[in-house]
Amino acid sequence: MLPPKIHFHKWQGIGNDFVVLDLISHPLPPDFDFSAAALALCERRLGVGADGLLSLEPAVNDADLQMRMWNPDGSEDMCGNGLRCVAALAWAQEHVRNPQFSVQTRAGNRDITVLGPHSLRAAMGAPIFEPSQVPIALPQRSHAIDIEIRLADTTWRATALSTGSTHTVVFLENPLCDADFGKWSPLLENHPLFPQRTSVMWAVAEGAGRFKIRIWERGVGETLACGTGACAVAVAAQVSGRSGKNVAIESRGGVLEVEWTRGEEILLTGSAHPVFQGVWNF
């Protein structure tokens, strides 16, 4: 069920834009249909327009807050840039007073540090390589690092992992042209190996410790940025010997800083900015 009016905020993290519902300030009924709301609100011509719908809610475990996220197709997911946006909104609205706090997500609790008015660092959890948890259908393997994925008459070398969401990272010598990006990205997203689909990160090295990426998010399509995707690229680069523990990931929306020491959590640092707020009339 969707109420006739919904108060919302519009936020963006390096170009990854979101409609955010502050359910602490403006609670919604228990039967509220978030998937239907995502379909309506994220539509860029008939709705507000966004890469995803976020909710800021009271936590139901020992975290300080809770975040949930829905893609424009209504599927629920996890989002690193969305996490920073929700955390920044919570800080701006004074739902939290300590600049270090935790946010409950579908991938687990995530620790946040507010570094400045629009800069935050998030501990994103440890990367997951176990195929059944990525998930990717490779029952005979212990990981999906540097695997071959065949599509039609082309084979791509890729690394699949989860950083809170499923990602497939493909390292290239040169960027794909628009036609090839539009052709191969949805085919990889929907490859039979991935029972829940996958986002696809096309990455090109730009020098020591820096990669430029082009992003195809499952359930969304091309986006300007992806926080969990940036984490996946940084981890895949390190495990394949392409980088050290500190990596700058540049996308069309801007740059994210990723730090990962093996056996520890990934640290993601980037910006989050308010765009506008309003009331949506269904």
Q: Which residues are catalytic?
A: 79, 226
How many other β-carbons are positioned within 10 Å of the β-carbon of residue 225? Answer: 27
> Do 142 and 136 touch, CB atoms closer than 8 A?
no
Q: What's the rounded Cα separation, in Å, for the pair 81 and 20?
A: 12
Helices (H), 24-130: 34-41, 80-92
Q: What's the per-residue H, E or C state across the chain?
A: CCCCEEEEEEEEECCEEEEEEECCCCCCCCCCCHHHHHHHHCCCCCCCCCCEEEEEECCCCCCCEEEEEECCCCCEECCHHHHHHHHHHHHHCCCCCCCEEEEEECCEEEEEEEEECCEEEEECCCCECCCCCCCCCCCCCCCEEEEEEEECCEEEEEEEEECCCEEEEEEECCCCCHHHHHHHHHHHHCCCCCCCCCEEEEEEECCCCEEEEEEEECCCEEECCCHHHHHHHHHHHHHCCCCCCEEEEEECCEEEEEEECCCCCEEEEEECEEEEEEEEEC
